[in-house]
Structures are given as structure tokens and as C-alpha cells.
Amino acid sequence: MSENNHHHHDHHHPHSHGHSHEHDNDDHSGEHEMRTRWVVYLTACTMVVEIFFGYWTNSMALLADGYHMASHVFALGLSWAAYIIARRYSNSSKFSFSKNMLLALSGYTSAIVLFVIAVLMAEQSTERFFNPVTIKFEEAIFVAAIGLIVNALSAFFLHHGHEHHDHNIRSAYLHVLADGLTSVTAIIALTAGMFYNLYSLDSISGIISSVVITKWSYGLIKGSGKELVNFKSK
């Protein structure tokens, strides 16, 4: 989604962006790359923990939160890759074309993977809605809370001490915020479920997250697909 804004910006204003990008490279790019890298590491570890505990606690909300985080690990990974490629090949105009092609292709692939995950999640959540199983609420809430703390730290890390004119870091920041929102939803659904013994809230939260991931991946498929078609027609 947001990565494509980065591409379109490139596409429509090659000259102005090229100029500002060189300026960015000198000032902020190394720092942004380092920040993005640490957020990728942190988010990836949390994602694994959330998915593992999602299965173990039988919580669809926690599982959905983990998979939603996975969608953003893809996106953040692409942002990080963009920095590395830009740094290594900053002088080659031919490679800037290949770079955008590469990012569009990996964005497209990861969006399709996520779309499949979202469909499976929705299916499983619906099945759980009609056939509830015992959920380990306390453990699930604890892990979801860790997810929220990681998102808050990541957002602070990405937002702290820079202006938002860097599209890469801005899209990474927006992904982290969206993740935080899913964690909050999961915590609310699990807490209410625990107090009122409503197992269905957990399934509903899983379904809502699946819809969010589907919408996000559809946006990315459409945007990166358009980029790929543009490359072919050139």
C-alpha cells in the first residue's frame, strides 16, 4: 500500500525526487536504514511469538495479530531492502529501474501470500465462531500486550528525530501504527471474552483482522501490479 506511494512518487517526479534523494542519502539515509533494520528484527521476533502462542492459546485474535504483523514484516523488509539497494547502487541509473522492478515484484509476491493467509484466517475464525474451543485468555492477553509494547517502541523508534519526507520510513511508520491497532483490538476482544465468557468475540476479532489484511494486500497487489505492467510496457 504505502510502498506504492513511494513508487508513484518516483514515477511522476523523477527529477525532483532524484535530487532530494541524493540530499537524503547524505543526511538521513544511513540512520533511517539502521532504524528500519532494527524494527524489522523486533517485529519479526514478535510475529513468531504471537503466531506460536496464537495456536497454543487457541486465540484467533492473537493469531490474526501475529499474521497482521507478518504482513508488515514483509513491508518493512521491502523498505529496508530499498535502502540497501539505493545505498549500493546510488550511481547507476539503469539499476534504479531494476530496483523499482524488484521492489514491485517482491511487494506483489508478499501481497499474494498475505491474501492467502487472510482467507485461511477468515475461514478458521468462522469455523471457531460456530465451534468454540477453550481459549487460554490470560496467556493470550499477555502476549498481545507484548505485541502492543513492541509496536509502541517501533513507532517511537521510527518517528523519533526525523521529518516525514522520507517515503520509506513514513510507510514503515504507518504499518507499525496499523499493527498497534490490531493489538489493541485483540486485547479488547480477549479481555471482554475472559470476563463475560464470550468466546465468539475472539473469532469476530480474527475475522475483522482477516478483512483488514485482505484490504491491505489487495491495495498492494493492485499498486505493485500496475508498476509491473508499466515496466513491461516500457
Q: What is the mean pLDDT of each run of 10 residues along the chain (234 residues)?
A: 43 40 52 84 94 96 91 83 77 67 80 89 95 94 95 84 60 80 92 93 93 86 82 65
pLDDT at 182: 86
| Sequence-ordered strand ranges (E) for 68-162 | none
Q: Please give the torsion angle defined by the CA atoms of residues 218, 45, 207 and 53, in that order, rounded to the nearest 10 degrees.
A: 160
- pTM beyond 0.85: no
pLDDT at 175: 77
CATH, residue 126: 1.20.1510
How many structural domains is the chain composed of? Answer: 1
Q: Are 196 and 115 in contact (CB under 8 A)?
A: no
pLDDT at 28: 61
Q: Are 188 and 145 in contact (CB under 8 A)?
A: no
Domain range for 34 is 2-233
pLDDT at 138: 95
**N-to-C CA span, the chain:** 23
pLDDT at 96: 63
CA distances from 169 to 125, 142, 155, 183 (A): 33, 29, 10, 21
CA distances from 27 to 23, 24, 40, 160, 166 (A): 7, 5, 22, 15, 11
In angstroms, the CA 210 to CA 65 distance is: 9
